[in-house]
Every structure is written in C-alpha cells, then in structure tokens.
Structure 1
Amino acid sequence: MRSGGSRRRRAPRPTRTFVSLTGPAGNLGDALIRREQLAWARGTSDELVVYTGEAPDAWLAQLGLAPGDAVLLRSKRSVPRWLFMLATAPSRPALVFEAGEVPLERGNALRELVFLAETVLVRLRRGVVVRPPRAIRAPTQPALRLHSLAARASQFALWRDATSLRIAAHGQLVPDIGFAAGRRDGLPWNARAELVVSLRGKRPRPGPAWVEAVTGFAAAQGLRIRTVVQVREDEDRARELASALGGEFEPWGDRDPVAQEALLRERYDGARLVISDRLHVLILAALSGALPVELVPAPTRKIADSFATVGLTDMSMDAANPGPRGITGFLTAQLTRVDDVRRRVGEAEVRLSGIEADVRAAIRSARR
C-alpha cells in the first residue's frame, strides 16, 4: 500500500460564478444591462451558472449566450437547483445579482429574504457578492430592511442614483451599467438629420402644445422626425406619435430583437436629438453621440437622477405646463451641450471599466 504521504491529491473542484439574468425579450433596455452585467461575470470562474427564468431563446441571443457558455437554468422550476448548486459550490464562489430596478413593494419581503440568505451563504463560503448598478423602487418595510442588510453584506453594492444610495444607506454611487455598452462615432454632427422619438405607451400622450413645439423645432432645425420602438409594448404609441408629428413610423414588427437593437443604434447614430421617457433609450442615444432629452408630461425622477450621476443635469423637462415657446426654448438650449454630453458619457464608460476591473480583482483575491 502507498503511504498516506504518497497519495495523490484530489484535483480541486471547479470554481463557480452565479449570475441571474432574467428579463423580457421585448425590452431591449433590460437586455442591454443584463448583457453588460454578464460581461462582468464572464471568465471569473471555471464554471458559469446562469439563471434566466422563463425567458425564450431570443433572450439568450440578446445576451450573447451560446450553447456551452454556461450551465443554463431556464425555468422557475430550476430555482431549487440554483440554490443547491450555490450551497454545494466550492469555496469562494461569486454571485452577481441583476442590474436595474429593485422593486421593494409590499409582498416582496419573502424574495428579499431569499436573496439575503444567498448573500450570507456566499459570504460564509468566503466568496464575493456583486450587486451591479441598481435603483430602489417603491421601498416598503420589511423588504427594504432585508435588502439593506443584504447590501451591507455584499462587497459591491452599487447604485445608479443618489436617492437609492441614501435609502439603502450603504454602497457606492456609480453610472448605470448601460453606459458600458460601447460608444459609437455615429454620423458627423452636421450630417445628422433626424429627431428621434420613443415614448412609453402606458403613460399619458403629450398634448397639442408638445406636438406643436416638437414639429416646429424640427422644421426650424431642418430635421426629419422618426418614431422608433425599443420596447414592444410602445409600438402603438410610436405609430400615434408619427401621425401626430408628421414623421416616419418605424415598427418593430417581425424583426428579431438582436436585429432590432442593431437598427435602433444605427438610428441613434444619425440623430441630433432623441426624445424619450425610457432611460436606456436615452443612454443608447448618448452612446451614439446624440443629445438625450426627456420631454414628457409629469416625468418621474428616474431619468433625471440617473443622468445626474454622470454629471448631466437639466436634460429633463415637464411638458405638462409650458407652452410651445417654452418647450422650443428648452430643446434649442440642448443643442449647445454636445461636447459636454460626449465628455460625460466617456467618463462614465471609463468609471464602469474601472469598477469591472475591481470586481474581477476582488474575486481573484478571494481565491488566493
């Protein structure tokens, strides 16, 4: 028999990174931030475990996940397997939660309790927990208390707006992860000939003063108006606005989501201004060198607060009260901000690149 000292050591079990990537295939903004979040997780372990919930095949294509890239858990029935793999993972696992909004309404306490347990489990196994740039929505107790405890137990608790950081009382204020999606040169400024509009279908439609101001501004600047769709449920609103504004309506139709995103980024490449009340429409527009403008009745603070984090203020206006002259003046003033917008977007991209490097370094350090 071989002596104990001569026995071969068992090969180490593969390291694991867990990342949650749920979302609707019909929302390109959700796909955008999940894809950038996935980029932070790739290559950090021998084995990547991805939970996508009930998402269809199109969602995997949007994320850029190919067969063999990861252990895919693709239904809610796989949650027990996710928890089992997390509990039995080799020491020092990494866990990456979802970027975006965190709903903390009444009824979400049980979910937050599960997330807290996952966080504690990973920390007890000397692993790393990453909460990418997020925003708190509708905080209520006890969900907020549980979420705050989980944030405090995480090495990275990142918030895309100052209000969420204040509510959580722990973490860092950083740009929305969408700003990491890659800047594009787009067309030269003088060759940009469009004003692009993309508004939510579930909010009140802007009134006559808004229509008069937008059409008048576009005519004065020599811009064509085009309405586009970045979220499928907004398609009817885009059609209505094109008719009201005398612009061109570009439907999503049967185009697959990957092709639709590519087309939209081309449209933003050729726009001077993009008007929207969707955060990631405006982030993609800014990445393409267009001027992002929120111009709707009674806007929420979501866009203004998220852009304030990267140093861009006064790009949102409540269109409920000012007449056409006030709206036109606001839009005209935005045209002076090209250099500032591009500089701030570049700084946000650099900041996010540094945070990704910090995340990777933390995971490496935990495994030494």
Structure 2
Amino acid sequence: MNTKATQNVFAHLAGQDDNLGDSALRIAYLDALRGSGRHLHVFIGTPTTDYGAGFPKAPDITYYVHRAEWVNAEKASVRPVHAFNAGEINPRPGIFPVPRRAAECARVLRSGGALIVSGIGVKDVGKLGQVTFDAAFRSASVFSWRDQGSRDAAGFGEFAPDWAYSLGAPVDEWTPRSARNLLAVTMRFDRPWPGDAWLADLKRLSATTGTKIVTLAQVARDAPRAVRLAEAVGGEYIVPASMRHDDLDVVARSIYSRSLAVVSDRAHGLIIGATEGAFPIGSGSDPQKIGRLLTAAGLGGLVGRYEELAEFTDRFSEHLDSLGPSISAARADVAHLTRTIRAAMDAVA
C-alpha cells in the first residue's frame, strides 16, 4: 500500500461522543502526525455527527467508522506507522493493552514500521500495581505519557503535557487581563454537588475579581449541572448553538477568552481555558487527575478539593503572571514531542 511518495499512518482516535476535550486532544495529536508525504488513516469509531464534526476534512486524511476495515488497510501497508490512541487509560489487572491490541503493536514493529504511543495518562495511578504492560507496547518507537505521575507509576517512557495545550490562541494575542470580566465555571455531572460553602466561595471569588459568573458544559451530560450552578449563584448559563464539537469549541473558547479564570473539575475545561488565557482553578471532590495534568504544564498551584476554593481566592492574584509563561513552555514541550514523533516516522518511511 505504501509508495515511495506516501507513508501510511494509522491513528486510532476514537473518543466520547459528547466530550469536547476528547476531540480537542485527538485533533491536536492528529495535527502532529500529519506532514508532507503522509496519508492519515483515522479510526474514529461510530461517533455521532457531534464528535466527528470537530475533525478536519482534508485530502490527506481517510476516516474509518469500522475498525476491521482500518485494521485490514494497515495489514496491507508496507512499514506502516501505528499511532495508539491518546487520552485516558484505565487498565484492569492483567496485561495492557488487551491481546488483540498488543498483537497489532507487535505486528507493526515486526514489519519494520513505527509504533507511536503518545499523550496517554492513567486515570488512577494507584491502581497500576496489578497491571503489566505488554513488551511490544513498551518497545514503542516513541512512548510519552501526558503527566509525570503516570510515567512514574508505569516505570517507563517519557512525559509531556497533554496534546490539547498546543491548541488555542497565541499568548501574545490573548485578551488583556483588564478586559476579562467573566469567571467561567464548568463542572462534572458525575461528582458530588459541591455544596453551599463552595457556592459561597465561588461568589466571593467573583466579587473579589470583579467578574461575572457564567457556566457552560463542554460535555453534554454536564448541562443540567451547569444550569443548576448558574441558578444557585445568580450567574448565567451559556447555551451553545449546538453540541457539534466544531460549534462547541468556538463557544467555549470565546467564553474563556473573556474569562479571568475557569473553575472546573473537568481536565480539559481547565486546559482549554488556560490556552485562551483564563487561569485554571481546579476544584473537585477527587482532584488527583486534574492536578497531574495541570502540574505537567506548571499550572498545579491552584488545584484541590472543594473546601480549598476559599484559600485559592486569597492566593489567586499571586499566580496570574505565571499563566502565559507556563502555556508557552507547555507548547514548546509538545512541539519537541511532535518533532520526535516525526523523526521516528521519517526513520521508517
């Protein structure tokens, strides 16, 4: 299937249909894999039109909704590049990845191709004790986790910030801090309600910073919570034109570009907000994952449990100046990872 002029890259980029963060990080990963002389074969599963709408349509990309067709195309290719899916993994006790996926990785390496595993992170690093990573998986041409905690728990590979840090407006084009009059809030639907004290702390943060509270849902299932939060604090719930990820991305980034801060327990609510100049305040019932993903970009200073929000209000102004340099450094790290991946692909072309 390969010709001298074309290198075939097979990227597994399936994600949750209604989760903007899932498409954002994978679109950034896709961008890193593209290049002159390459054709991308992308498996996105059977998503709704909402998820698929976020991905670019271009002559160098073929999308697959049936995995068997994608696998057969890879088998027919000479020295293919296999890009393992980025994002969160939650391995069960035993071997990871499952035998079928491990065999795909091994087959690519045996054929003289390249295996790229980049931008993955463990949901709960404390559960890796009973997990064994397959030898082929560990032998990837490039292996990079998206946070140090995942890398340290696994015991191998490198790490770099999440792919989504590479998206968003350039730092020097951010809306000036003085013109940011919103405080964006987006919270998970599947966590305990934060409670009256947290709501009071949120209103105090709004009053202290002179901002208006607005809520949004980057994940469709979060919408009822966003509505309830807005009602509880006298804020405004921003309704997007649609939940298509291309539309939702525009709305979310527009809100964050006018926000001084974003308060969330959604990792990619915090990351996307930060890339548009809204300082990320991580507040949740179990903030260990969001803490790791923000710390990877030097932004873990205001991440904690619900009851810590009051303290974050007191320390907020001390952290504001760190946002621009941290995002610039994170983007430089991701750019370095991109160059490493492209060099590995060039080596088998």
> Residues 313-324 of structure 1 correspond to what in structure 2 (within 5 A)?
313-320=300-307
Please state if 1:102 is matched with 2:89. Answer: yes
Partner residue in 2 for 1:353: 335
Structure 1 runs (4+) deviating above 6 angstroms are none
Residue in structure 2 matched with residue 227 of structure 1 by the alignment: 215
1:28 aligned residue (16, 20, 34): 20
Which of 64, 69, 84 is matched with 1:73 structurally? 64
Match of 1:54 in 2: 46
Amino acid of the structure 2 residue aligned with 1:80? A
Amino acid paired to 1:158: S
SS in 2 for 1:312: coil
Post-superposition shift, 1:81?
A: 2.6
Contact 1:304 1:316 in 2 (8 A): yes
Shift in Å, 1:151: 3.2
Partner deviation per Cα, 1:88-133 (whole Å, 9 max, x = no partner) = 211x211111111012125x85862122111111111111111111
Q: 1:267 is matched with which residue: 251, 255, 258?
A: 255
Match of 2:119 among 133, 138, 141: 133
Give 1:156's aligned residue. Answer: 142
Match of 1:121 among 73, 94, 107: 107
TM (norm. structure 1) is: 0.87
- Judge conservation of contact 1:151–1:171 (CA < 8 Å) in 2: no
Question: Residues 51 and 72 of structure 1 are in contact (CA less than 8 Å); yes or no, is this contact kept in structure 2?
Answer: yes
TM-score under structure 2 normalisation?
Answer: 0.91
Sequence identity, in percent? 26
Q: What is the distance in 2 between the residues matched to 1:38 and 1:72?
A: 12
Residue 251 (structure 1) aligns with:
239
State how far apart, in whole Å, the 1-side matches of 2:49 and 2:283 are: 35
Which stretch has the larger CA shift, 248-257 or 128-137? 248-257
Superposition CA RMSD, Å: 2.3
Give per-residue Cα distances to partners, 1:21-80, cap 9 Å, x unaligned. Answer: 1123311100101101111222265432111111133333201134x44332213xxx33
2:8 is matched by which residue type in structure 1?
R
Among 310, 321, 342, the alignment partner of 1:328 is 310
- Return the offset for 1:344: 1.1
Q: Distance in 1 between matches of 2:30 and 2:12?
A: 9
SS, match of residue 214 in structure 2: strand
The answer for unaligned runs of 5 or more in structure 1 is 1-10
- Asked if 1:191 corresponds to 2:195, the answer is no
Residues 243-291 of structure 1: CA deviation (Å, up to 9, x unaligned): 1111011134635321121011011011111100011111111111111
Q: Structure 2 unaligned runs (5+)? A: none
**Letter of the structure 2 residue corresponding to residue 153 of structure 1:** S
Task: Give 1:302's match in structure 2, choosing from 289, 314, 327.
Answer: 289
In 2, distance between residues paired with 1:294 and 1:69? 38
The answer to whether residue 224 in structure 2 is matched with residue 236 in structure 1 is yes
Name the count of aligned residue pairs. Answer: 344
Whichever residue aligns with residue 327 of structure 2, its letter is V
For 2:298 and 2:210, the matched residues in 1 are separated by 29
Q: Alignment partner of 1:129: what SS?
A: strand
Which structure ranks higher in relative contact order (CA pairs < 8 Å, sequence separation ≥ 6)?
2
Larger radius of gyration: 1
Counterpart in the other structure of 1:6 = none
CA distance in 1, matches of 2:85, 2:151: 17
